[in-house]
Chain A
Amino acid sequence: MSAPKSAAHSRPGTFWSLFDRPGGWVFVAGALAAAAGAFYLQWLHVERYKETPWIDSFVLPQPKFVRRLAVGYDAMVADFLYLRAIQAFGGIYYRPTEEGQKYDPVFNYFDVILALDPHFIEAISFGSLVIGDEGKAWDLALKLLDTGQWNNWRRYVPWYEAAFLKIWDLKQPDRDARFFVRQATKAHDAPEWISHWESEIDQQAGQFTLALQRWIQTYAEGVAENKDYLAGMALNKIHPIVGEWHKKILQDALDKYRQEKGAWPQTLQQLADEGYLPPVDVVDPDALVELMETARAEGVDLRPLVGQLAAACMVKKSGVLPPYNPAVPDDRFALICMSDYDHPAVGLESARKSAAAAALEAYRAQINDYYQKNGRYPDSVEGWPAEAYGRPLCDPYCRGWEYNPQTGILRSKGDPDL
């Protein structure tokens, strides 16, 4: 006959009966320790994944094999890979180091996604954004878009994305860019504004008269069709185009000066004084805008008059234009913004690069000099007077300098490769 059980003891077979004996406590403690260890190790795995958010893209099989492995569930597998690509992008985007911000491997996901479902428009659009716009891997982005275009030629998105990369990111107003815009315009789902990108191409390509005429045409159509937003958009484009036109004139003059003299002029005045800014025909944007608005107010149909409008506002200008001052309405014709940097090359891409390189060279020489004298790099270069210039040198890209006091490395944020 067994002894009666203590009331404190739990019913045998239940979970709580484990604690009736010391061994039970040890067992439970061991189980908890094992669980804690397992979770900790699992967490280490998570940390490892965070380090390399795109690493699994390297082990993705070739697209044709993934298609087989999907066993007909192509669309769903493409969706899962798309979600994974989004996660990888997020992981890369928040990576603190520059080395970690590599977007190229994400291309592998999109390559497979398009093999599984070549009509996955959202993936094409997002892939081009990640690889091209964010990752600056233009060739890969255009390759992805090429696949998207030929499988979705009736949709505007792949053409539009390619045109966007070409016009806004690569600044290549070439025949490809024009082709992409035209294809996008032809698509049944294309928004109306896409066709106006051709004006942007003309503007970038230096075809300012043509770009102006296109916008005047758009304005005329906007007025005729009572589309105020279209007319307003066109009107807003007149000044920037003329501004670009001026910059081009100035750039040509600067290039010619440098070619002949072997150095940049110190000031714009010097450029004008030495005869590099002869009188040239340009459109007076104020006169043009006024003419367009007057014609609209009088109810004139501008559509047949597009070519004549620009010609009527053509004026000859030469010399240095006064600084842009938005407070003076009549002063809007001066379009070279030099207020933040007094080197004449500012605002012109090729010259901007040279100016940045020169500034970096001066700064780096001083940083090295500082290191030689003090045995360490300076804590900051903000407001550092450059001996050669007697004042701080601004980044011509207007994005500031990136300086690491540990390594003494100084870079331009606008062009980190310099």
Chain B
Amino acid sequence: MKTIAAIAWNTFREAVRSRILYLILIFALLLMASSGIVRDLSIAAHDRVVRDFGLLCINLFGLAVAILVGIGSVYNELDKKSIYTIVSKPIARWQFLLGKYFGLLLTIYVIIFIMTVFFLMVLNYQDMTSEDALIQMMKERGLTELTTGVHLRHDAASAVKAAGKGFLNLVGVDLIGSTRHITTIVLLTALELAVVTAFAILYSSFSTPTLSAIFTLLTFVAGRLNESIWEYSQQILTGQAGAGVATVGGIVKHWLVVLAYMVTPNLGAFRVNTLDLADGAPLSIPWFTVPYGVLYAAMVLSLSIMIFRSRNFK
């Protein structure tokens, strides 16, 4: 365990030295900070647009980190021959791979954490300076129309207050409408990225960074469209039923598509039903979502370990 932790910590330290990580982070934070522009473009659905925009940033940039940092993690060790120093020590290959995985995950989660806190601050700041807040303030002061001196504060004090509320929101305290389910959704994103990172490690264990990036991205897309693969398998059956003839070719095709459905990860499982968000009801997440994510990542990592064990480093 100590060995894995040490490798993970080193992987994290190595990753945070990467400039690309900071570029991604700065870009993501800038985008989130500018979400007010998107908010102003909308009619009625202000909170929703900003929420979706921020969650998209967290998901996409988290994915970018998983791919850009994850794909080279194992390959670079082989390329720089530093793997020889590692494997010559009493470290098993599986420990090395798991250490890499958890190090990468730690990097991604730190990035996600920073993005989430910042996003919650932005949401709180926008809430504090919104039209609704102005109307509320007017109600409290018994005003029916705007007069001189009645305005919301766009200043450092408001920003600090929003920052404080952002941290509180993170632990489920002092939630407002727009921040209500953010933490849960981000946790699901983190689980999804755990599965994607496992794939990045898998591909990185036997392939070049470019190919690994392509494979990981394609796996992500296939995983997101997993539901469509199932629908296609059902369409084949429906088509056969409609024609009134069940051909062997059709049945084989159906089962091949079902197989494709089974082997691709169902990343849609980590998405939240928009009905829950629209209703403001508690999120209905199936109990098996978390075990599914953990087991799937474990399965992919096991496969990586098997491949990595049989690799010849010469």
Contacts and interface: CB of A to CB of B under 8 A. Distances in A.
Nearest to B278: A119
Interface in B31-73: 38, 41-45, 48-49, 52-53, 55-56, 59
B44 A75 contact: no
Contacts of A79: 42, 45, 48-49, 52-53
Nearest to B50: A79
B56 A122 contact: no
Interface string A53-83: 0000000000000011001111110010011
A125 B42 contact: no
Contacts of B38: 83
A126 interface: yes
A121 interface: yes
B243 interface: no
B93 interface: no
A72 B49 contact: no
A154 B48 contact: no
Given A75-B52, A126-B44, A119 B275 contact: yes
Contact of A72 (B268, B275, B277): B268
Nearest to B227: A72
**Chain B contact residues: over half helix, strand or loop, or mixed?**
helix
A72 B48 contact: no
Contacts of A126: 43-44
Nearest to B41: A83
Contact of A121 (B42, B56, B278): B278
**Chain A contact residues: over half helix, strand or loop, or mixed?**
helix
A82 B52 contact: no
A73 B189 CA distance: 12
Given A71-B221, A71-B224, A76-B53, A122 B274 contact: no
Contact of A154 (B42, B49, B279): B279
A82 B49 CA distance: 9
B228 interface: yes
A73 B56 contact: yes
B267 interface: yes
Interface residues on A, range: 20 to 34
A244 B44 CA distance: 36
Contacts of B257: none
B274 A123 contact: no
A76 B224 contact: no
A67 B268 CA distance: 13
A13 to B, nearest CB: 26
Contacts of A221: none
B175 interface: no
Contacts of B53: 76, 79
A171 B44 CA distance: 27
Given A71-B221, A86-B42, A119 B228 contact: no
A82 B45 CA distance: 9
B278 A68 contact: no
B271 to A, nearest CB: 6
Contacts of B275: 119, 151-152
Nearest to B221: A71
B260 interface: no
Interface in A77-123: 79, 82-83, 86-87, 117-123
A82 B267 contact: no
Contact of B267 (A72, A76, A117): A72
B225 interface: yes
Given A68-B225, A71-B225, A72-B224, A152 B45 contact: no
Interface string A144-155: 000000011011
A83 B221 contact: no
A29 B264 CA distance: 57
A151 B279 CA distance: 12
B180 to A, nearest CB: 15
Given A71-B225, A83-B41, A126-B44, A120 B49 contact: no
A271 B43 CA distance: 52
Nearest to A151: B275
Contacts of A76: 52-53, 55-56
A68 B43 contact: no
A86 B41 contact: yes
Contacts of B279: 119, 154-155
Interface in A150-178: 151-152, 154-155
A151 B274 CA distance: 11
Contacts of B271: 72
Interface string A120-139: 11110110000000000000
Interface string B263-300: 00001100100110111000000000000000000000
A83 B49 contact: yes
B223 to A, nearest CB: 8
A125 B268 CA distance: 28
A15 B82 CA distance: 44
A119 B43 contact: no
B44 A122 contact: yes
Contacts of B268: 72
Nearest to A75: B52
Given A71-B224, A79-B48, A86 B43 contact: yes
Contacts of A118: 274
A87 B43 CA distance: 10
29 contacts: A67-B228, A68-B225, A71-B220, A71-B221, A72-B224, A72-B267, A75-B48, A75-B274, A75-B277, A76-B56, A79-B45, A79-B48, A79-B49, A79-B53, A82-B42, A83-B38, A83-B41, A118-B274, A119-B275, A119-B277, A119-B279, A120-B45, A122-B43, A122-B44, A122-B48, A123-B45, A126-B43, A151-B275, A152-B275
Given A72-B267, A82-B49, 17 more contacts: A71-B220, A71-B225, A72-B271, A75-B274, A75-B277, A79-B52, A82-B42, A83-B38, A83-B42, A83-B49, A87-B41, A117-B274, A119-B274, A120-B278, A122-B45, A126-B43, A155-B279
Interface of B: 38, 41-45, 48-49, 52-53, 55-56, 59, 220-221, 224-225, 228, 267-268, 271, 274-275, 277-279
Q: Which 9 A-B pairs have the closest CB atoms?
A: A72-B224, A122-B45, A119-B278, A122-B44, A76-B56, A71-B224, A76-B52, A119-B275, A119-B274
